[in-house]
Homo-oligomer: A and B are copies of this chain.
Amino acid sequence: MAKEKKFVESITDMELDFPQWYTDVVKKADLTEYSSLKGCMIIRPYGYAIWELIQKQLDERFKATGHENVYMPMFIPESLLQKEKDHVEGFAPEVAWVTHGGDKKLEERICVRPTSETLFCEHYANIIQSYRDLPKLYNQWCSVVRWEKTTRPFLRTMEFLWQEGHTAHATAEEAQEETLKMLNVYADFCRDVLAIPVIKGEKTEKERFAGAAHTFTIESLMHDGKALQSGTSHNFGDGFAKAFGIQYTDKDNKLQYVHQTSWGMTTRLIGAIIMVHGDNSGLVLPPMIAPTQVVIIPIAQHKEGVLEKAGELKDRLSFICRIKLDDSDKSAGWKFSEYEMKGVPLRLEIGPKDMEKNQAVLARRDTGEKIIVSLDELETKIPELLKDIQANLLQKATERRDSKTYVAHNMEEFEKEINETPGFIKAMWCGDQACEDTIKEKTAATSRCIPFEQEEIDTVCVCCGKPAKHMVYWGRAY
């Protein structure tokens, strides 16, 4: 028992110290490890397996909406990065510069991509000639680098994995349609696969992506009441097209500029999963992205026939779920804690007494509930339970998010809520950046988005009292 206790005790209570709880879970669930280069993380097999499941399911959704994958170089020459003025201002301060190839100093320094708009634009300028070449619906899976020194695994690292979609369209309408279509793909993916509810909306000008005409976002709320930007979709209008000369001949044989979009999701989603579903026993994984959906733990495995039966069940059930048998010589109690820490949705216990009764015990990670099931019914019961766990996680997350969403009519209420009960604050805004700045200064909260679903909770701006233009979600954010 001493050993088992140690495994559990080493996690900090999330109510006492949420950041430390997060770090503990990431480490104890074997998701990442630090590398010797500060700010870079190693994604370990268990963490990477989650990313592979995210990738696979997102990629299917991209392909189903007509997108194709490509691979662009990881380097951007300085002169190319500088072609779009706002874009370079946004990114130049945080890029890694390559100045030497082998022993030789480069004539022009190149940066490691922080994002690939400039590369796609250059490529599009080469391959787009006619309206027949449009739309171009490309996506790329890769890693990007942004030079930051304050980092946290998955949430903010110098290098991170992501996908970046880049599309070119004949008209402004088509580009806008694409921007919103992909935002919806993201929101649906979060809800249906990650069991994370999100708020969809538009970023204010202050929070817009460097070079974008409009940035749309999905925002989720973590256990500690802080917001996490979980995916963004940008409409560039024809700004990049003009900077890079991306033109096509339309049906009337006239030269036109294309309209572009880009959209991205990153390994940060794994941080969201941890902070939305996790608890004081560790990670809690939605079945849709759990590398192991069911772990079989033999009870009294030294007794005759137990390991054989467990192995038989594993083989039988591997057709219906991602299943693992832990037949190592650790105690059953130790294993219980370990797979709780790793967030495996279902534990299947099988011991001599169960075998006598032709049954197994199924324990849910989300509720702790134990269900006794006949061995003959596992094939129907397990998929049912996995589906139920997936739905329950979404429901719990939605309830928690809603219970942490507050309304503020004035700055007094705003400050009180954000300090005493952190969460989303819904409040009206006049549209003036000065008020955003003031709110940030006073509360450390930023505008998360102007949600598509507007409510008129007041007529005046929460900050300056002038007539309000929009209802905005505010929050302290990761």
Chain A residues engaging chain B, CB cutoff 8 angstroms: 33, 35-37, 40-45, 48-49, 51-52, 68-77, 80, 92-103, 109-110, 112, 119, 122-123, 126-127, 138, 142-143, 145, 147, 159, 161
Question: A159: which of B75, B76, B95, B147 is its contact (CB, 8 Å)?
Answer: B75
Contacts of A49 in B (CB 8 A): 68-69
> Would A44 and B70 count as touching, CB distance under 8 A?
yes
Q: Which of A37, A41, A69, A93 has the most CB of B within 10 A?
A: A37
Can you report 16 A-B residue pairs in the complex whose CB atoms are below 8 A from each other?
A: A33-B123, A33-B126, A35-B123, A36-B80, A42-B72, A43-B71, A44-B70, A45-B138, A48-B68, A51-B71, A74-B143, A92-B102, A96-B98, A96-B100, A102-B147, A112-B112
> Would A99 and B102 count as touching, CB distance under 8 A?
no
> Would A36 and B77 count as touching, CB distance under 8 A?
yes
Q: A42-B73, A96-B98 are in contact. List 9 more A-B contacts (CB 8 A).
A: A37-B75, A37-B77, A40-B75, A42-B72, A75-B159, A95-B101, A98-B112, A102-B147, A142-B143
Q: Using A33-B123, A99-B99, A119-B35 as known contacts, say yes or no to A73 and B41 having CB atoms under 8 A apart.
A: yes
How many chain copies does the complex carry?
A: 2
Complex Cα gap A98–B68 (Å): 31
Complex Cα gap A29–B476 (Å): 50
Question: A70: which of B42, B70, B76, B100 is its contact (CB, 8 Å)?
Answer: B42
Contacts of A69 in B (CB 8 A): 45, 48-49, 52
Complex Cα gap A413–B386 (Å): 69
Complex Cα gap A202–B122 (Å): 44
Complex Cα gap A225–B138 (Å): 37
In the complex, what's the smallest C-beta–C-beta distance from A288 to chain B, in angstroms? 19
Contacts of A36 in B (CB 8 A): 77, 80, 122
Complex Cα gap A304–B149 (Å): 66
Contacts of A142 in B (CB 8 A): 143
Complex Cα gap A108–B109 (Å): 18
> Would B97 and A159 count as touching, CB distance under 8 A?
no
Query: Which B residue's beta carbon lies closest to that of A43?
Result: B71
> Would B98 and A97 count as touching, CB distance under 8 A?
yes
Query: Which B residue's beta carbon lies closest to that of A123?
Result: B42
> Would A99 and B97 count as touching, CB distance under 8 A?
yes
Query: Which B residue's beta carbon lies closest to that of A71?
Result: B43
Contacts of A52 in B (CB 8 A): 69
Complex Cα gap A72–B40 (Å): 9
Query: Which B residue's beta carbon lies closest to that of A329?
Result: B132
Q: Using A45-B138, A127-B33, A138-B45 as known contacts, say yes or no to A147 and B73 having CB atoms under 8 A apart.
A: no
Query: Which B residue's beta carbon lies closest to that of A44?
Result: B70
Query: Which B residue's beta carbon lies closest to that of A93?
Result: B102
Contacts of A35 in B (CB 8 A): 72-73, 119, 122-123
5 tightest A-B contacts by CB? A40-B73, A101-B147, A45-B68, A43-B71, A97-B100
Query: Which B residue's beta carbon lies closest to that of A99?
Result: B99
Complex Cα gap A127–B45 (Å): 13
> Would A145 and B74 count as touching, CB distance under 8 A?
yes
Complex Cα gap A377–B404 (Å): 61
In the complex, what's the smallest C-beta–C-beta distance from A28 to chain B, in angstroms? 14
Query: Which B residue's beta carbon lies closest to that of A52?
Result: B69
Query: Which B residue's beta carbon lies closest to that of A147?
Result: B101
Query: Which B residue's beta carbon lies closest to that of A149?
Result: B101
Contacts of A109 in B (CB 8 A): 100
Query: Which B residue's beta carbon lies closest to that of A79?
Result: B36
Question: A45: which of B70, B75, B95 is its contact (CB, 8 Å)?
Answer: B70
Contacts of A122 in B (CB 8 A): 35-36
Contacts of A70 in B (CB 8 A): 42-45, 48
Contacts of A161 in B (CB 8 A): 71
